Amino acid sequence: MIDSEVGEPAVVDGLLPRLRDLVLAVGWACATVLLFLSASTLLSLDHGVDSPFADYPAVAEVGRCHRYGPVSLDGFGWFWACEVTVRTADGTVHAVVDGSKVTPNDAGRQVRFREYCDDSGCSYGRPTLWLWRLVVALFDRTAVTADVIMAIVAVGYLVAALIGRPRAERIRARWRAKDEAARRTEPVEAPRPEVSVEPVDRPGLAVDLSYPPSAALYGAATPRLRVDGRVRSVPGWGVYELDAGPGRHRVEVIVVGPVPPARTYAKRRVKVPREGGVILRYRAPDLTAAESGG
């Protein structure tokens, strides 16, 4: 059968094609779960911290442990999760470490540990080479990417099974048309803000949000701030200290206001040291100078 409008073979709908797509969706979903659990099983062989970046020495004392499995987020097999008391240069922390990084055999003695902290929390593990942690991190990212692709394929087959392949193909054709139209549109380059990072004596992370005096209309604009994907409320322009611990952080500044362009955006990754701190200085673009230069 030929589609008279586009001159291509028409996509046939019916019970059997939908059942086939449903079977394919279930198959891809099972393969996605199997890949996730298999990758988690391999990753559980690594007992280091959950980051290839710099970590710090610590000593752990193992408390109560419990066993979990045979299928869990750590993959296939049985694993130990133990309560630990971790002593670092900054103090003492009580945590639960899973993935058999420590076992009941470690109870009653001090275990050499490593600590890595960022804004999402701290990770603890055994000492490992940074190159090995980098290999583990790359494998983790590759497995996650493959899992996401397989999940998208499974969802595509499921949608085709629910609404029919002809309708799914029409929806995909509309998306392609919109994407091609967006690519043909000439981008308008807006003035870019100035962003810099400087070390300071006070600990933690601070931001300095400002705009040039010649662009007074920015006073009516609303700066928005996100740190590691989480919105941090700020009342307006000025200097603010943020609750961000040592480690690497992603800082995003979005300014929405009545001045053109209506939206400016800046993103910068900053590293907060364990001693001292940093300040990120954001200066909105000078729109007056940009217009006169154009």
Q: Is there a contact between 164 and 13 (Cβ–Cβ < 8 Å)?
A: yes
| Percent of the chain topping pLDDT 70 | 86
CA distances from 136 to 41, 126, 127, 184, 209 (A): 12, 14, 14, 40, 38
Whether residue 278 is contained in a domain is answered as yes
**In terms of pTM, does the model score above 0.85?**
no
Whether residue 179 is contained in a domain is answered as no
Whether residue 50 is contained in a domain is answered as no
Average pLDDT of the chain? 83
Q: Which of 105, 127, 149 is the last residue of a domain?
A: 127
Whether residue 277 is contained in a domain is answered as yes
Question: 251: domain range?
Answer: 194-293
CA 213 from centre of chain: 36
Q: Which of 84, 109, 127 is the last residue of a domain?
A: 127
Whether residue 32 is contained in a domain is answered as no
Whether residue 287 is contained in a domain is answered as yes
For the stretch 247-261, pLDDT in tens is: 888 888 888 765 555
Tell me which amino acid residue 194 is.
Answer: E
User: Helix 130-163 to helix 165-184 angle, to the nearest 10 degrees?
Assistant: 120
For the stretch 261-286, pLDDT in tens is: 556 778 888 888 888 889 999 988 87
Whether residue 185 is contained in a domain is answered as no
Q: Is there a contact between 81 and 98 (Cβ–Cβ < 8 Å)?
A: yes
CA atoms within 13 A on the CB side of 165: 16
Q: Which of 109, 127, 145 is the last residue of a domain?
A: 127
Q: Any idea what the CATH number is for the domain that residue 248 is in? A: 2.60.40
Q: What is the number of helices (H) and of strands (E) in the chain?
A: 4, 17
3-state SS, 44-92, equals: CCCCCCCCCCCCEEEEEEEEEEEEECCEECCEECCEEEEEEEEEECCEE
For the stretch 198-210, pLDDT in tens is: 988 888 899 999 8
Query: Does the pLDDT of residue 181 top 80, yes or no?
Result: no
Tokens of 39: 């990758």
**Mean pLDDT, rounded, for 18-25:** 93
Whether residue 91 is contained in a domain is answered as yes
Query: Does the pLDDT of residue 109 top 90, yes or no?
Result: no
Which residues, including other chains, have CB under 8 Å from residue 188's CB and lie 6 or more apart?
261
Which pLDDT does position 292 carry in this prediction? 47
Q: How many domains does the chain have?
A: 2
Tokens of 129: 């080479």
